[in-house]
Structure 1
């Protein structure tokens, strides 16, 4: 039986999405980026959704090196290791295991010498997973601030500025604790612009953020500030400078490289790919409206590319809940529902969007797929969009993309398919 065009296009979008994730797999990229084997001790530390998988690759690549250390990853993302301790903790809001992992990481790099080496394995999610509040601040204080910031619509860079100023491990402080040992960071970027200081909030990277910047961000988004946090931010401390550490960062996978792989798959399937950017930010719902306009231009005018085409983009959008409790769904599902509402059932346009780590927000789906019939297959899409309940809408349609943890993270992958013009 011939496959329907709808099923064909949905299947091709999943292939494109999977190609992007596969490019970000740490296995080959990490091996190629390893430094020379150290002559002294080698301590491994790490944090992020991909960090345990990275640790397993490192152990396999260096079977004859006496590795030790600790890596923390999200619950459900652990990979068995023999020489490196793997800890699971909470994401996106830290828990006591995040705090314990941070203390163990700092302890593991103490008393190292100039001939010793620290391999730091950092990936998306590391900011929450490696959490050590500054003296005078409790974990509960940081949890409350993180929850408020995540609901506020603040960018990931802004959130990380606050995190660094309230942490005794972020913003280069892990590398400073390891000095004079050499620190080589192998990073998988999940942040717009691939700034190493934003990947896991840069625990091994010199930092130029300030307490004043953190205070301004909290004021801008009207975040309630616990008294203990206010007092700490009023006592600025010296930042970690390049001269305080011996640190090198090697980025082994990025959103751009993942989009390039998606583009290659699109070409293989017979489409003209167009990468619109790998660092797009803004409100998910507004991004959906904007992308709908571009998709229509492609379909109706052949601009900026003629169909059949695939529009690709990456980055990290936001969902501002404000005082609303919100329903179920992350930024990718919200983007897709907004896109579907804006397209109003326009013929010839399908789309997929998902988080490359396999988890959109806090749900079990990476994202979803939409097509021209999306609005007719469910109840009032606008009401679900207003309630930030996109997951429920797509779950009812069986349109969710469920991959499970992918053990990598290069942020969101979005692909819009504009079908060939009718003959």
Structure 2
């Protein structure tokens, strides 16, 4: 069965994946019962404002609070204040909001409830440096980690140990109140302690682990940061900490759930879906080469699935930046995929971030068609040179093949779909 318009089908799969993680649709069934005392709503992440709006719509009883989200990802609320702050690098607005959130949960009683709304992006947005560490320190370290190609889990080990609020510290501050955290996962493996650096989750990583990550990626830190990471008093609360006994962390949306929704949509269109994995990590360009190999095998040999089929995957790749161009990990994946497919007829692809923003650009990702390379070269663009310069955005912009959605107000990691139509 041939797709009448493969690009339209691919976009419908992405839309289905995003809809499966829409806070307005998924949050209501996970809301806890109102407490005897106060309800304080706090949160951080790219979906935090949309989550807050969903809570307000369905909550029965009084509530108050504050959430912080990325600039441009706000949503209208009446009772829960929304602060927009910088991402992926933390800024003063996020630091101030984190300080307010921490102050809000102090002095509560066992009759009170803290409802925490956590989604991807919270690590940068909920930035409250611990000890003598400064915001400038955290900004410099974040920039270096982003450029290094460090995995999200590694980055968040460092962030937790430089924070006064992450790594379980928010929940510690809220004791003895009950804490219920509703989480949208944007990390491979759905580990709640990694998502937004786990502000309400006990942390099994250590100060030594944070020092090792910085050493592995050769990131220099000022003496006050080194001193902070050497002081045992700055260790995060660990699993089994009695102060966390009244904390419940609930995953309400995951990358796998979104991939399953896309798979169902593909099946309806007559394409056999194959989910390659929901926790794929590694360099974007290298992951693309592997994906291309699987797609070519399906096209040539009918293995591991016969066409017409759609290969689906999620997770969070990385980009080690060596060039001067523009582009996030999804458009870099798409360009590397196009090069590896080398114009193979009948194979189309879409790679995009479910939050609607690929890195720091204004697109969610990009679409690959069999003639991507031919059209690029006709415009005088060298695909390989663009990839080497980390300049995937400019190439796909010139072709008109960027996927532009604007902020989706959710976030369940990267989405990749490769359609093999013969």
TM-score range, shorter chain: over 0.9
Residues 301-342 of structure 1 deviation map (CA, whole Å, 9 limit, x = unaligned): 000000000000000000001xx3531100000001000001
Q: How many residues align?
A: 413
Where does 1:163-178 land on structure 2 (aligned, <5 Å)?
163-178=159-174
For the pair 1:91 / 2:90, whether they are aligned, the reply is: no
RMSD over aligned Cα atoms = 1.0
Question: How far apart, in 1, do the equivalents of 2:139 and 2:182 lie?
Answer: 28
Residue equivalent to 2:27: 30
Question: How far apart, in 1, do the equivalents of 2:294 and 2:197 lie?
Answer: 34
- Report the alpha carbon displacement of residue 175 of structure 1 after superposing the two structures with TM: 0.4
For the pair 1:350 / 2:348, whether they are aligned, the reply is: yes
Residue equivalent to 1:70: 66
Question: How far apart, in 1, do the equivalents of 2:183 and 2:194 lie?
Answer: 11
Residue equivalent to 1:407: 409
Question: How far apart, in 2, do the equivalents of 1:206 and 1:304 lie?
Answer: 40
Residue equivalent to 2:116: 120
Question: How far apart, in 2, do the equivalents of 1:32 and 1:217 lie?
Answer: 39
Question: How far apart, in 1, do the equivalents of 2:77 and 2:171 lie?
Answer: 23
Residue equivalent to 2:145: 149
- Report the alpha carbon displacement of residue 370 of structure 1 after superposing the two structures with TM: 0.6
Is the contact made by 2:275 and 2:313 (CA closer than 8 Å) also made in structure 1?
yes
Question: How far apart, in 1, do the equivalents of 2:181 and 2:324 lie?
Answer: 37
Question: How far apart, in 1, do the equivalents of 2:344 and 2:269 lie?
Answer: 22
Please point out which of 200, 206, 210 is paired with 2:206: 210
Residue equivalent to 1:276: 276
Question: How far apart, in 1, do the equivalents of 2:173 and 2:400 lie?
Answer: 49
Is the contact made by 1:6 and 1:371 (CA closer than 8 Å) also made in structure 2?
no
Residue equivalent to 1:43: 40
Question: How far apart, in 2, do the equivalents of 1:234 and 1:123 lie?
Answer: 30
For the pair 1:395 / 2:397, whether they are aligned, the reply is: yes
Gaps in structure 1 of 5+ consecutive residues: none
For the pair 1:312 / 2:312, whether they are aligned, the reply is: yes
Moved more, 238-247 or 312-321: 238-247
Question: How far apart, in 2, do the equivalents of 1:299 and 1:159 lie?
Answer: 38
- Report the alpha carbon displacement of residue 28 of structure 1 after superposing the two structures with TM: 2.2
Q: Secondary structure at the match of 2:27?
A: helix
Gaps in structure 2 of 5+ consecutive residues: none
Question: How far apart, in 1, do the equivalents of 2:219 and 2:232 lie?
Answer: 20
Normalised by the length of structure 1, the TM-score is 0.96
- Report the alpha carbon displacement of residue 209 of structure 1 after superposing the two structures with TM: 1.4
For the pair 1:386 / 2:385, whether they are aligned, the reply is: no
Question: How far apart, in 1, do the equivalents of 2:71 and 2:307 lie?
Answer: 42
Residue equivalent to 1:364: 362
Q: Secondary structure at the match of 2:348?
A: strand
Where does 1:121-270 land on structure 2 (aligned, <5 Å)?
121-237=117-233, 238-241=235-238, 242-245=241-244, 246-270=246-270
Residue equivalent to 2:52: 55
Question: How far apart, in 2, do the equivalents of 1:255 and 1:272 lie?
Answer: 19
Q: Secondary structure at the match of 1:377?
A: helix
Q: Secondary structure at the match of 1:405?
A: coil
Residue equivalent to 1:376: 374
CA shift in 2, pair 1:86/1:15, >3 Å: same
- Report the alpha carbon displacement of residue 260 of structure 1 after superposing the two structures with TM: 0.1
- Report the alpha carbon displacement of residue 119 of structure 1 after superposing the two structures with TM: 0.1
- Report the alpha carbon displacement of residue 14 of structure 1 after superposing the two structures with TM: 0.4
Is the contact made by 1:210 and 1:236 (CA closer than 8 Å) also made in structure 2?
no
Question: How far apart, in 2, do the equivalents of 1:6 and 1:221 lie?
Answer: 45
